[in-house]
Chains A and B, each alone.
Chain A
Amino acid sequence: MATQHSRAAARFMISPSVLLLLGWMLIPLGMTIYFSLLRYNLLMPGEHPFVGWENYSYFLSDPAFKTALINTLLLVVGVLIITVVGGVLLGLLLDQAMWGQGIVRILVIAPFFVMPTVSALVWKNMFMNPVNGLFAYAAKFLGLQPYDFLSQAPLMSIIGIVSWQWLPFATLILLTAMQSLDQEQLEAAEMDGAGPFSRFFYITVPHLSRAVTVVILIQTIFLLSIFAEILVTTNGGPGNASTNLTYLVYAESLLRFDVGTGSAGGVVAIVLANIVAIFLMRMIGKNLDA
């Protein structure tokens, strides 16, 4: 593809797909921004007058916004900590040779294949339910008061459910990274007098840094937009104790039928996600350089 002619031809040939992708992205984004500047409520049919930043000031000054923002960050950070630490520990365990290794590995990875709505429902009704749940049964068996997880600690419960879903992903990536560690390096460290903990912290952990970076980046993308688990379990409540930004946007546009404010919330979410992305890349992006 070196000559000028072939390069021009190449550009011409890829242009349809580029234009299609661009349209796919830009049209919804443009419409969201456009709607966010209108007074557009489905309960008030008729005109959609241009109102400038009104929707934004309304959304940002809503007390639920601050709560949702904090909840979003807590959810992302909480799940990241649990999955990365748990993934490293599980990976270490699964890296050992043991009987039934193949089956155990499949069992560990299984939660990832369960749909978010299904797993959230299973957790809500079969584990966390204060009357029929397994945890309630266990508490009663021990003579304790059953704990109503979803009303007493809604955000923590959702963090638990989401962590359960994402732990397999982190485990899988970290396990493969561990298996790619040169055994001679560990042996050399052993000869050099490093005990098991020193070997783990000086050799294994630095080797895992790149895999951890990948896990954090990919999970952050998906965790910022957690929705199904909240809808199925708590509906963002009690109050707005488990409402994150995604759920708040949903509530504005589809529960209160306020398309304008919902769109403004969507744009705010995009901006915040990009801020998070910039910080993440600053902090850990250097790990990805070879």
Chain B
Amino acid sequence: MGRITLDKVTKSFGEVQVIPPLDLTIDEGEFVVFVGPSGCGKSTLLRLIAGLEDITSGQIRIDRQDATHVPPAKRGLAMVFQSYALYPHMSVRKNIAFPLKMAKMDPAERDRRVDYAAKVLNLTDYMDRRPGQLSGGQRQRVAIGRAIVREPAAFLFDEPLSNLDAALRVNMRLEISELHNTLKTTMIYVTHDQVEAMTMADKIVVLHAGRIEQVGSPLELYHTPRNTFVAGFIGSPKMNLIEGPEAEKHDAHTIGIRPEHLDTSAESGLWEGRVGVSEHLGSDTFFHVHDTGLAEMLTVRASGEVALRHGDKIFLTPQMDKLHRFDAQGLRIA
């Protein structure tokens, strides 16, 4: 249950092709995250899998069955929407029970499943409230509950946490990861937040302009980004990308070095610059370094507190084994 294959799937809106031919396999029980900047087609891709949009050409297979022209309800997938899309005139219980009612399930079995979902999601005390009387996090849980009761082959999440505040987002992130460990069902999760992608995913799919840039585990993407786009997108703060003579010294068009792989010193080092804004987080300090002659700005991550002030001179030395090299097309040089 829950293996999804996309075979040369394309999607065009009129003349505009938003998804060029795309192949992807999602294995059973995987937590796959589609990540990319806004407008990269990740939500469209999710809606194609859900069946809410028709694909222009290609084939979608769910559990080896051709699902290309199967209506959404028959695909055995459940979706959690960005706006939660709860039914405002129904109580929490009725919201969660709605898909089972539509499936004409026996009421006793229906109640059993709804009660189970409520217990898993800590919603038991709110079953008779309306969505309007719930907080954002509770609404999110009701939306997940409505997805769980169907016991779907896979869950689809469309940026489910983007309407929550920062603290709640971290909590819900953990809860969804816990849920995945409990249910062991395939989950496809769309987000533009690379932190969510890194923390939750078994497998990340980085999308850019409808194209898959790279597929891999979070650490694979972190250690061996396939091109400059993935290198710049994954990791926080962003990787420093340097072009020009310095890159040519390493036989590359572009070299990349992550902020955490630059050693700082006040006296000596390979590169020299001037400290701009520094962000003190306690555990780490991020420096923005200017006037290095390499790039407009380099970001450096130093552990703990470092006594460097705005305008101070700073020396940087990259850890050579952590240097990434890219050619003129932006592809990684092994």
Partners in one complex: yes
| Residue positions of A touching B, CB distance < 8 A | 182, 184-185, 187-194, 198, 202-203, 206-207, 209
A191 touches B77 (CB 8 A): yes
- Please give 10 more A-B residue pairs, beta carbons under 8 A apart, in addition to A191-B73, A193-B103: A184-B81, A185-B85, A187-B79, A189-B87, A189-B98, A189-B102, A192-B98, A192-B99, A193-B102, A209-B89
**Set B78, B83, B87, B89: member contacting A191, Cβ < 8 A:** B78
B73 touches A190 (CB 8 A): yes
B103 touches A184 (CB 8 A): no
Q: Which residues of B contact A202 (CB under 8 A)?
A: 87, 98
Q: Which residues of A contact B98 (CB under 8 A)?
A: 189, 192, 194, 202
Interface set, chain B 265-323, CB cutoff 8 A to A: none
Q: Does B91 contact A (CB under 8 A)?
A: no
How far is A6 from B4 in the complex, measured between Cα atoms in Å? 70
Interface set, chain B 76-121, CB cutoff 8 A to A: 77-79, 81-83, 85-90, 98-99, 102-103
A192 touches B102 (CB 8 A): yes
> Please, which residue of chain A has its CB at the minimum distance from the CB of B77?
A191
Known: A187-B52, A198-B102, A206-B89. A192 touches B83 (CB 8 A): no
Binding site secondary structure of chain B: loop
A188 touches B103 (CB 8 A): no
Q: Does B50 contact A (CB under 8 A)?
A: yes
Q: Which residues of B contact A190 (CB under 8 A)?
A: 52, 71-73
B102 touches A194 (CB 8 A): yes
Q: Does B146 contact A (CB under 8 A)?
A: yes
Q: Which residues of A contact B88 (CB under 8 A)?
A: 207
What would 26 A/B residue contacts be, using CB atoms closer than 8 Å? A182-B85, A184-B82, A184-B83, A187-B52, A187-B85, A188-B81, A188-B146, A189-B102, A190-B52, A190-B73, A191-B52, A191-B73, A191-B79, A192-B73, A192-B98, A192-B102, A192-B150, A193-B99, A193-B102, A193-B103, A194-B102, A202-B87, A202-B98, A206-B87, A206-B89, A206-B90
Q: Which residues of A contact B77 (CB under 8 A)?
A: 191
Q: Which residues of A contact B99 (CB under 8 A)?
A: 191-193
How far is A193 from B151 in the complex, measured between Cα atoms in Å? 13
> Please, which residue of chain B has its CB at the minimum distance from the CB of A198?
B102
Among A185, A188, A194, chain B packs the most CB atoms within 10 A around the CB of A188
Interface set, chain B 193-229, CB cutoff 8 A to A: none
Known: A190-B72, A190-B73. A182 touches B102 (CB 8 A): no
A203 touches B102 (CB 8 A): no
> Please, which residue of chain A has its CB at the minimum distance from the CB of B149?
A192
Among A182, A191, A193, chain B packs the most CB atoms within 10 A around the CB of A191
How far is A116 from B82 in the complex, measured between Cα atoms in Å? 48
Binding site secondary structure of chain A: helix
A193 touches B79 (CB 8 A): no
Q: Which residues of B contact A209 (CB under 8 A)?
A: 89
> Nearest chain B CB to A287's CB is how many angstroms away?
10
> Please, which residue of chain B has its CB at the minimum distance from the CB of A186?
B85
B87 touches A185 (CB 8 A): yes
Q: Which residues of A contact B102 (CB under 8 A)?
A: 189, 192-194, 198
> Nearest chain B CB to A177's CB is how many angstroms away?
13
- By Cβ-Cβ distance, the 10 closest A-B pairs, closest first, are A192-B99, A193-B73, A188-B85, A184-B85, A193-B102, A206-B89, A184-B81, A185-B85, A194-B102, A191-B79
How far is A185 from B139 in the complex, measured between Cα atoms in Å? 14
How far is A203 from B77 in the complex, measured between Cα atoms in Å? 20
How far is A193 from B105 in the complex, measured between Cα atoms in Å? 12
How far is A189 from B102 in the complex, measured between Cα atoms in Å? 9
> Please, which residue of chain A has its CB at the minimum distance from the CB of B156?
A191
**Set B73, B81, B146, B150: member contacting A194, Cβ < 8 A:** B73
**Binary contact readout B41-71 vs A (1 if CB under 8 angstroms, 0 otherwise):** 0000000001010000000000000000001
Interface set, chain B 217-271, CB cutoff 8 A to A: none
How far is A209 from B89 in the complex, measured between Cα atoms in Å? 10
Q: Which residues of A contact B78 (CB under 8 A)?
A: 191
> Nearest chain B CB to A187's CB is how many angstroms away?
5
Q: Which residues of B contact A198 (CB under 8 A)?
A: 102
Q: Which residues of A contact B81 (CB under 8 A)?
A: 184, 187-188
How far is A182 from B90 in the complex, measured between Cα atoms in Å? 15
How far is A202 from B77 in the complex, measured between Cα atoms in Å? 21
> Nearest chain A CB to B110's CB is how many angstroms away?
13
> Nearest chain A CB to B143's CB is how many angstroms away?
8
**Set A191, A193, A207: member contacting B50, Cβ < 8 A:** A191
Q: Which residues of A contact B89 (CB under 8 A)?
A: 206-207, 209
> Nearest chain B CB to A155's CB is how many angstroms away?
36
How far is A182 from B150 in the complex, measured between Cα atoms in Å? 23
How far is A203 from B52 in the complex, measured between Cα atoms in Å? 17
Q: Which residues of B contact A185 (CB under 8 A)?
A: 85-87
B72 touches A191 (CB 8 A): yes
Q: Which residues of A contact B83 (CB under 8 A)?
A: 182, 184
B52 touches A192 (CB 8 A): no
Q: Which residues of A contact B85 (CB under 8 A)?
A: 182, 184-185, 187-188
How far is A203 from B30 in the complex, measured between Cα atoms in Å? 33
Q: Which residues of B contact A192 (CB under 8 A)?
A: 73, 98-99, 102, 146, 150
How far is A104 from B86 in the complex, measured between Cα atoms in Å? 33
Among A184, A190, A192, A202, chain B packs the most CB atoms within 10 A around the CB of A192
B79 touches A188 (CB 8 A): yes
> Nearest chain A CB to B80's CB is how many angstroms away?
9
How far is A187 from B43 in the complex, measured between Cα atoms in Å? 14
> Nearest chain B CB to A6's CB is how many angstroms away?
36
